[in-house]
Structure 1
């Protein structure tokens, strides 16, 4: 074998051995990157999508060839604070996980996706394969209100929470925050202030309840104001 060929073969062997040596490190970096991306788009308590993950899911729907109308559901638990005050935050988190599982199951049944936005607030995106929004909304309300069986201090505990649910139809091309989620938010507020443990469906022209009847700014609204102030 000529000297140049020997030199090339030696370099190829060295490159291959170097690649084999680096592979575990590259594999580890890739796993860390995948984990970091997962954490950026998922809620650490429930494992559901978080707000960023839901926005990404909506963007995927917008770019799909089969894009069409979607149903947006906004789900806000009623008076959840007493659960934490009575049973502690650990059991409160257990309840949030259990409720999140139910919401995930309903979303999956309709080939959609769900997320925990913040605190005791969830959302779901569902393809609009049906006009029967009332049935879907009632499913959310009914399943969420089923008792959650837990163990606290070694004793069985039954915790029941309810939710106010707002549903809205939107096109995938509609801005998510300004249109789709906003409509569901308005509907949810009407459910909240018409007695809770119920749903409302957005209709054109429906506006937010009078300021005096509302509970104050939502967590995400306060966060948006903070972000704008510090920008």
Structure 2
């Protein structure tokens, strides 16, 4: 009887050990596949939230940042800056689209570093348009806007078909202060958009703070509909 029980126990133990060893070997075998899948998923997630040219966040990524801020605790004021480069089309027309992409990439690097110094995030929305979200802290809004305007206006060295050259572009900035729980695009960005168009209307190379009662300039002072304008119109929101 004792021998029978011993055989049964030994057989059961062997089966368990075999299962454990088999699972371990199987797990080791699939590790490379799991790592590859994790890498592919991370790459796919990044592609969904980042701009492929500049590496900055895209519109989806900016929404995710805003959602995180809104859900992080009590409502808090945030600074939203809409940045539109002045006369960027001239760079494309004069030096080629590749040179224009070079300019956008270098400008994006400056904006990303500057936003990070204030604990904020910046995204490329489309074309030559960027947006930043910053927390309201002890920094003055005017000082922040001045630093963004100055950083963009610094000369940029680009490669062209005729060799290296230096170009300088400016930007029109619209600034709005909103509550973190307010909708990003239909409130915060829309307010900043109105202010940005006022900066454009007055010649560019400046920043304008959105004030209560400020309305969008007449369409004759606007460049025409952009992708973001069309998307907002299709949702039925005010332009």
TM range (shorter): over 0.9
Q: Which of 177, 182, 185 pairs up with 1:174?
A: 182
Output aligned runs, 1:57-96, within 5 Å. Answer: 57-65=65-73, 67-96=75-104
**RMSD after superposition:** 1.6
> Are 1:112 and 2:120 an aligned pair?
yes
Partner of 1:198: 206
What secondary structure does 1:124 align onto? strand
Structure 1 residue 131: Cα displacement? 6.5
Q: Which of 189, 193, 207 pairs up with 1:185?
A: 193
Over 3 Å counting, the alpha-carbon distance change for 1:186 and 1:224 in structure 2 is: closer
Bigger CA drift: 187-196 or 218-227? 218-227
Structure 2: distance between partners of 1:103 and 1:20:
44
TM-score by length of 2: 0.90
Structure 2: distance between partners of 1:20 and 1:154:
55
Q: Please list the CA deviations of residues 1-26 of structure 1 after superposition, one character each: whole Å capped at 9, or x if unmatched.
A: 52112111111111110010001001
Highest CA radius of gyration, 1 or 2?
2
Structure 2: distance between partners of 1:183 and 1:227:
17
> Are 1:3 and 2:11 an aligned pair?
yes
| Number of corresponding residues | 228
Over 3 Å counting, the alpha-carbon distance change for 1:227 and 1:170 in structure 2 is: closer
Over 3 Å counting, the alpha-carbon distance change for 1:87 and 1:81 in structure 2 is: same
Partner of 1:160: 168
Partner of 1:139: 147
TM-score by length of 1: 0.93
Structure 1 residue 151: Cα displacement? 2.8
Structure 2: distance between partners of 1:119 and 1:82:
13
Gaps of 5+ in 1: none
Structure 1 residue 103: Cα displacement? 1.0
Structure 2: distance between partners of 1:99 and 1:119:
12
Partner of 2:44: 36
Structure 1 residue 145: Cα displacement? 1.0
Structure 1 residue 156: Cα displacement? 2.4
What secondary structure does 1:101 align onto? helix
Where do 4+ consecutive residues of structure 1 move more than 3 Å? Answer: 223-228
What secondary structure does 1:22 align onto? helix
Q: Is the 8 A contact 2:83 2:174 kept in 1?
A: yes
Structure 2: distance between partners of 1:157 and 1:72:
33
